[in-house]
Structure 1
């Protein structure tokens, strides 16, 4: 609804009557818009004073706007604001506090009316005009509700940064009870959407629960203050019950939460209707409450899958969609589209389900692009945590493999992609997000490469292979999140645990053949092999997801019975977008080799010697940062730079399987990395895993915040678990690889598990011989080194993969 659709005849009539001071005419106009506050407005007119005229207009504007007669309420509020400004600018003597109140309330009602009708840009324009006028009370708490509603208009108009600035300008301690609920709601909404890339899902869940509890308590206190004497008009019992639920330690029932919030919403709308004395059935709040009521059956295991109910719900959703579409309320449209997906998915109409999810996806992409700080976009897709898995399922089931590939890619490496765009000055194309295949195929063809992208869903994983010929193959054979959790619990990312007995049902032993299980993610490669699309010497690039980041697919078994790397060279990447960025330019010539070695206090002389073996092999007559000087974080960061080869021979740590209540301790962004010296002392291996509390850990956090320039450089990490990553809330695989890539590194070689240093030395020396001395390209140098170790691996109680499979190539493979 455009502002002119409100009509301005009422506004003109009211202004003419005010200018003529014809209060009898004003009253006749008022009576054409009956509401609960009409009598009060009439009494104010009887006073025949300017300030009471404003009070009368304010009564009408408040009752009509909150009651649902938005066009009329808008016109009364606009008249009240304009007449108040006219009196103020004409220097008419008025009670200052009263004038400030009526100016503030009318501007708030205008912002609310424009917000509720989807006129976000108009609301922003009016707010910015008022901001230049220096109105009485503009910076005082009396105007806070205006600022908060304006912030919502900025937010809904995909101008999140300005909304944040408004919130930050308000003094939380000065917020009036009537504005507190608005403030808490907007602060929570923006706070969750602007979550940090490096936060874990567990951190966000804990933060969200604590914030909701705080907001509920403050809402309860605010309602008791504002509605004093009218508490029976609100459902205070339900609010108190919600507080009790959030204060509890167990899981919160989705069904009970839904029922309580619906009761509170319904009672609030009823109160607004009674106190306003008008029909409020055409307000967004009323429609949202109806929408919640219409979709509540989704949570019932039986009713939620009845065909007739689902089809009837689709008809209702169509009506809701039209209503909100007319008002351009995109957040509501996205929610309705998600509800439509649920219906279509349960009816097994997967193409329509996928189309509905694309509406949600498009809205979230726009919202995400509106946040300028690329580290504060993680929570946008967190509004619909099952979105990417649902898009994978529906596109897979509807056999739309191209869109399946693009939606999988949209789920991963988003922060790294943003970093690339920020550095190059490019902008993500929101109008057509499905161009990645077109950009990738020429690069894959030129490099004899194929790209495998995987997404892990709850009960299965989807793998899509894009071949160098541009053909797509997809399967859903890989283990899902629940199975991977079980593997991680049993430490299966480490081959040393594969042959340990695992108790099964009733104590019977069971075994998991990890290479065969990992091979299921590689099924699309088997299909391409069957169609003769893979040639000898071809390269496979793969991008894992979720807990699969703790494993290496190069050891996965193909249908031939051989591991992937026995048939093809293999490398890993964070996303297809990152691969495009790397392959789009020629690799840099490295102009210097720097060896960095640091053992731990617990290491004996033989172990120290083994740590120094590869750096001395690389630099037999040179001296980099090594045992002769302090290998501290500060010195290492100072030495890091572009177009160099850095070899780290250190201890590496990663918090997989670590226990504790401190969520930072469990987050690899803070508590993984390489152990270096501090104050001239070697690091100590810590059984409590509190490395992030000390000064010896070169963590992803420290790297990312250091702003070092590693453009074109190669990083070798001869350090245990240095190649592991854990997905953060924003979809990025957080770990050392992510941090080094963030700093511009071109390629890496890192460890998937606690590698044996003797065999790691063998592999690195073979790799460097092949790459530096024999001048093989990097992918061939790596594969030949692995094949050499395969031939030398002993047949003992340890899986053979332990000796040759733990060091993976990442990034640019050329």
Structure 2
């Protein structure tokens, strides 16, 4: 059946070259995700209007490829885009000339969608390879529609691959005047991107332009954009009026003696943004309204009203009340013109000096943040960075003054975001500035500064180590040498609103960075599944973390399906492929990675990498921060010869017809451990919270086979539940088995709070959580990922196995036993034992999901290894 080869270009081409119209329709209706872009209604109407036309198939592929390339489904966008191009090229060899334009346009759009999607996945070499074929073909066919855009994408691919001279030569060949407005904007962006990569000396002549020349150039850009716009005939006159108005403004600019480009820039940007909205079709207002907006903007600029100065003050006249008043004034002017921003900056600087001298740290921090905002608006990146670093130093000092790290842990219930609540964008701003300034070690330091603070503090205390002001930074500095010694790679992520920043510390000590175009907003959108029934929410029928749900129909009427999360998140690891090709990352290497935000929910080992999954190339483990990693690696792994197993099923399980099979899944790992080690099994009604909390779990293999719960991903307007209180394991209660875990969705007996408050001792132990959703976590205090893994690591566990979704007891048991056999009996490292177990289960699950091979990840991918991998 065709669905097995869903992502094969050759098969798509073969299907759409055939006369199997029902098969083509079935492919688009049921094997391709529905359109999501802003123009989906218009595109759907286009496809309906072409029904029966010979050009229907290629047009449909072009539409779907374009939508996928712009809505985050890059793998499919690339595949369908290339297929569309190849179909057009083949067809135009013997095509009716009446259909030439339709085929040529669709083929060009397919090539462009392929380029966009490949670049989004950091597969620039592939994008360039196809461009070498598509660009000459489009030129030979006389195409002028998509060819310029494709050439611009070729330039960007070369820039991303640091092929500066090639990009520069290609950029010089572009005829700017012939570009569309959108392509002209892209050209300007690439021009700036090229300049940033070249030595600053090269751009000095540009900076020597007079203020008037800069303003006139900006006005010329806006005027050129207007001339290239296409509007309805009735709006043509209004557009001519807008052009005449801007020409008049350009003449007036020459008479402005005190003109500054920085003053003009805000008005210019407003006008440009309006034009961008016209081009993209986002504006519902009439052109007359737009003309008035632009006119008002420039009229105010050329006849400015005097800006009142803030009340002057001497540093000696300041007091805390005056500081607060001046801060309020400075904050209120931040959204105004550049001149006012500079005045606000002066106020913030004066306040910062006075509050620092008078030890008013809170107000000093407010002033520092204000200084950063001003520097950032003025594009003074280095000063912005220095200000952020000063603010971070102050916050680190405040944290250090809280002597007892457990006090920080107990703040979780009241202050889920920890001490950084007042400045939630501090580390985000640091990452942006440091990536922009190409400072990889400092970028890693900033990324790590936002993570696992409580956990690192307590592990440090347990190891009887002293902390300094730069303790966390010192850990980052140790990483290159530490990873060389461990012969492993360390990969750390920071998820910002619009992008993710990643740093790899390779096993040879080298550092590699990447900005990935997937941010917090996008990931949350992908995780925001909707349910038609309450039972769907309970059973997680549309949970996109669960591979068996991928492709499930959420709304048959709207043709909405659960996305393939693994495919969508592929760019998170695709950027490592060039490092694998160059030998920096090698087959069978180990990668210890540190997630961030929602990435704590997702096992990276099931993301596509090359032709397979990442786990086919390397073993993987997770850790909460670099500081946690340093502490773990300083501990010598203990030889574990004892075990404790806790196994509890639910009361409702007993009534199910599959109970005996499920019960065996709960019991088999404990029986295996009993044959190989000495220890005890606590089972059924005997395993209640009071009994479990009296056990000594140190220096043991600890195996929990129970039901697990974690707060729903769907908040539905309610206050989000805190996993510190609401996630965990279900145990017996008052001599009875727990109720069905699906009925008690977020009320655990052994929660992170109980693990910490009962001070359970897991020092040196390995813990396996054979329980549903036991590996999920949600970011809380100081960047710590709150969940069971965090709690067990906090209480001394050296390593853990835990699951990301609801697992079947039999497959979970199979995973646990295979892992124990390879680690404890065959003496493999934990990393090797974990990876070999996963690879065996990939092979065993192959025959279970022949029609949906991506669903096999349900069986082999749920368990992640955290902590020590040795």
TM-score by length of 2: 0.57
1:746 matches 2:785: no
What is the number of residues matched between the two proteins? Answer: 529
Question: Which residue is equivalent to 2:569?
Answer: 518
Gap regions ≥5 residues in structure 2: 1-310, 409-416, 530-542, 654-658
Gap regions ≥5 residues in structure 1: 1-269, 274-278
Q: CA deviation at 1:292?
A: 1.6
CA distance, structure 1, for counterparts of residue 867 and residue 472 of structure 2: 23
Question: Which residue is equivalent to 1:555?
Answer: 606
Question: Which residue is equivalent to 1:778?
Answer: 830
Q: CA deviation at 1:288?
A: 2.6
Partner of residue 421 from structure 1, selected from 444, 457, 460: 460
CA distance, structure 1, for counterparts of residue 360 and residue 684 of structure 2: 65
Question: Which residue is equivalent to 2:681?
Answer: 625
Q: Report the 3-state secondary structure (helix = DSSP H, G, I; strand = E; otherwise coil) of the residue aligned with 1:740.
A: helix
Question: Which residue is equivalent to 1:149?
Answer: none
Q: CA deviation at 1:428?
A: 2.7
Partner of residue 441 from structure 1, selected from 451, 459, 480: 480
1:570 matches 2:620: yes
Tell whether the 8 Å contact from 1:737 to 1:748 is kept in structure 2 after alignment. Answer: yes
Q: CA deviation at 1:488?
A: 2.3
CA distance, structure 2, for counterparts of residue 653 and residue 291 of structure 1: 46
Q: CA deviation at 1:289?
A: 0.7
Partner of residue 328 from structure 2, selected from 292, 301, 308: 292
Spell out the pairing of 1:63-462 with structure 2 (5 A cutoff): 281-298=317-334, 300=335, 303=336, 306-377=337-408, 379-431=418-470, 433-462=472-501
Tell whether the 8 Å contact from 1:598 to 1:682 is kept in structure 2 after alignment. Answer: yes
Question: Which residue is equivalent to 2:664?
Answer: 609
Tell whether the 8 Å contact from 1:463 to 1:524 is kept in structure 2 after alignment. Answer: no
Q: Render the CA deviation track for 1:310-336: whole Å, top value 9, x for unaligned.
A: 334333433333343443433322222
Q: Render the CA deviation track for 1:549-601: whole Å, top value 9, x for unaligned.
A: 1111111222x132211100000011111111111122011020222211111
Q: Render the CA deviation track for 1:189-245: whole Å, top value 9, x for unaligned.
A: xxxxxxxxxxxxxxxxxxxxxxxxxxxxxxxxxxxxxxxxxxxxxxxxxxxxxxxxx
Tell whether the 8 Å contact from 1:474 to 1:524 is kept in structure 2 after alignment. Answer: no
Question: Which residue is equivalent to 1:163?
Answer: none
Structure 1 residues 600, 511: CA separation in 2 closer, same or farther (over 3 Å shift)? closer
Q: Report the 3-state secondary structure (helix = DSSP H, G, I; strand = E; otherwise coil) of the residue aligned with 1:492.
A: coil
Question: Which residue is equivalent to 2:859?
Answer: 803
Structure 1 residues 427, 701: CA separation in 2 closer, same or farther (over 3 Å shift)? same
Q: Report the 3-state secondary structure (helix = DSSP H, G, I; strand = E; otherwise coil) of the residue aligned with 2:686.
A: coil
Tell whether the 8 Å contact from 2:647 to 2:684 is kept in structure 1 after alignment. Answer: no
CA distance, structure 2, for counterparts of residue 796 and residue 633 of structure 1: 44
1:533 matches 2:584: yes
Tell whether the 8 Å contact from 1:453 to 1:544 is kept in structure 2 after alignment. Answer: yes
Question: Which residue is equivalent to 1:592?
Answer: 642
Question: Which residue is equivalent to 1:135?
Answer: none
RMSD in angstroms over aligned alpha carbons?
2.8
Q: CA deviation at 1:702?
A: 0.8
1:543 matches 2:594: yes
Structure 1 residues 380, 308: CA separation in 2 closer, same or farther (over 3 Å shift)? same
Q: Render the CA deviation track for 1:10-51: whole Å, top value 9, x for unaligned.
A: xxxxxxxxxxxxxxxxxxxxxxxxxxxxxxxxxxxxxxxxxx
Q: Report the 3-state secondary structure (helix = DSSP H, G, I; strand = E; otherwise coil) of the residue aligned with 1:656.
A: coil
Question: Which residue is equivalent to 2:727?
Answer: 672
Q: Render the CA deviation track for 1:230-288: whole Å, top value 9, x for unaligned.
A: xxxxxxxxxxxxxxxxxxxxxxxxxxxxxxxxxxxxxxxx9xx9xxxxx9953231133
Question: Which residue is equivalent to 1:634?
Answer: 690
Q: Report the 3-state secondary structure (helix = DSSP H, G, I; strand = E; otherwise coil) of the residue aligned with 1:372.
A: coil
Partner of residue 718 from structure 1, selected from 770, 775, 786: 770
Q: CA deviation at 1:515?
A: 1.7
Q: CA deviation at 1:342?
A: 1.1
CA distance, structure 2, for counterparts of residue 784 and residue 775 of structure 1: 13
Q: Report the 3-state secondary structure (helix = DSSP H, G, I; strand = E; otherwise coil) of the residue aligned with 2:646.
A: strand
Structure 1 residues 767, 478: CA separation in 2 closer, same or farther (over 3 Å shift)? farther
CA distance, structure 2, for counterparts of residue 512 and residue 616 of structure 1: 39
Q: CA deviation at 1:711?
A: 1.1
Q: Render the CA deviation track for 1:735-778: whole Å, top value 9, x for unaligned.
A: 11011111100001110111222322222222122112211111
Q: CA deviation at 1:510?
A: 6.2
Q: CA deviation at 1:431?
A: 4.5
Question: Which residue is equivalent to 2:514?
Answer: 475
TM-score by length of 1: 0.61
CA distance, structure 1, for counterparts of residue 473 and residue 679 of structure 2: 49
Question: Which residue is equivalent to 2:632?
Answer: 582
Tell whether the 8 Å contact from 2:492 to 2:593 is kept in structure 1 after alignment. Answer: yes
Spell out the pairing of 1:41-56 with structure 2 (5 A cutoff): none
1:646 matches 2:702: yes
Tell whether the 8 Å contact from 1:280 to 1:286 is kept in structure 2 after alignment. Answer: no
Q: Report the 3-state secondary structure (helix = DSSP H, G, I; strand = E; otherwise coil) of the residue aligned with 2:827.
A: coil
Question: Which residue is equivalent to 1:10?
Answer: none
1:789 matches 2:834: no
Tell whether the 8 Å contact from 2:684 to 2:732 is kept in structure 1 after alignment. Answer: no
Tell whether the 8 Å contact from 2:764 to 2:798 is kept in structure 1 after alignment. Answer: yes
Q: CA deviation at 1:662?
A: 8.2
CA distance, structure 2, for counterparts of residue 365 and residue 760 of structure 1: 42
Q: Render the CA deviation track for 1:455-511: whole Å, top value 9, x for unaligned.
A: 12222221111112222111221522222222222222222322123569x945466
Q: Report the 3-state secondary structure (helix = DSSP H, G, I; strand = E; otherwise coil) of the residue aligned with 1:799.
A: helix
Question: Which residue is equivalent to 1:760?
Answer: 812
Structure 1 residues 431, 714: CA separation in 2 closer, same or farther (over 3 Å shift)? closer
Structure 1 residues 375, 483: CA separation in 2 closer, same or farther (over 3 Å shift)? farther
Moved more, 713-722 or 515-524: 515-524
